[in-house]
Chains A and B, each alone.
Chain A
């Protein structure tokens, strides 16, 4: 086997063009390579973004809003190993697993970034002649647990960044975007979903996010993972979050799904934002904990002068709508990961609050 790999590697080294499907490599935490391509997961070949054949591309139902960036997600597990299913928690994945998420934007002829989306999720459609690559984040499962690192694209390669970076990008409307590439510790700000244990976990690798059809593989993603031997122990029924813009789903389901992925990593019973007493993950909580007529605890100017997180029927009086509808870092939610307002997200959450019934005294 190793001889074959060596031969293939040798072949790649000599030909390269048209090959590009080398081995995915695993590195220990103190040996992370400077160049993303060393991992073998994802790289640029010419203008074309290439994903290793042994990695599986996946999508989420509603995803975290990240300044309108598009995201190409891949998951790799060592050959012969698989993840263990859990109905509500992040799947337990084998050591050696690597998850990648590449953030990019379509660009216009002048290189300005577009916030409109026509991409259908196929990596073959991602080319640097029509897209601007920003960063690729990796979650790497070591023996001690998950590790989060980020690579910043610069020309043909992406380079490891421990401290993160504030990138000033220009949008098609000529507005500036202060895009924050997270530092290593900032990765934990979201991925340590249990803020007491501070254990880093993938956020999207949950049944409710993955349970959807894959455009790329023409199958339900969980079924596809099972058929590839990547997932075991699936029990049904499987929860599914809505796509936030799927008008066939109820506004309630879409809004709860949106809050779950955008807020629930901190606003859960063990999360960093449990200090606020406001729980926005897709679990059953008392209404007041979900924000109904709940006064803020330490929101500062983030209240926007409003009295409750949610005033049923009145989004314009609800702190939740205010904090989504501002780009002031002192007031906005989430605190990290965006510098623009997701107008469509604000509209969805506001539409949900508008249809809620009840009264705050």
Chain B
């Protein structure tokens, strides 16, 4: 074997080894972590409740990326290509960020609605209590007054239950309770106003 032949052999071997190293594509570990973290952040922002469909899209894309990675892992080393997985994972990050943004917006809206409902409930209850204090009392009104007193007490109890669930950020639950307070207080208000009108004690 002459020197030229040796050089050709060594060169060919080097090119083969180089191809192998170049051909063994790396798993997209970093992008996977980013995607997972983006999903986690979206969940922490309340996406499960406030942007479930957007979160689902991101989770589906993540699952597809994992399936693609698993497929490539089982492919002959020289043929591996994680480009599609990387594209999918990049999409996961974007979708998860969109889910997070949407969840934050929807959650803020739900919070604003719930707080407005609580303010309305408190003011309606205060009005009802003030009017109840002026309700005509006398023979024949005991049962009615006791029923209205029951409504006011139930409204107070329900209102007191709002704080803990507000802390748990169950805004729909808060809104439902606030609405029930408004309903009870409105009934008291209407009945007392009617009784006052009947007894000629209506406000000018």
Is the A/B pair a real complex? no
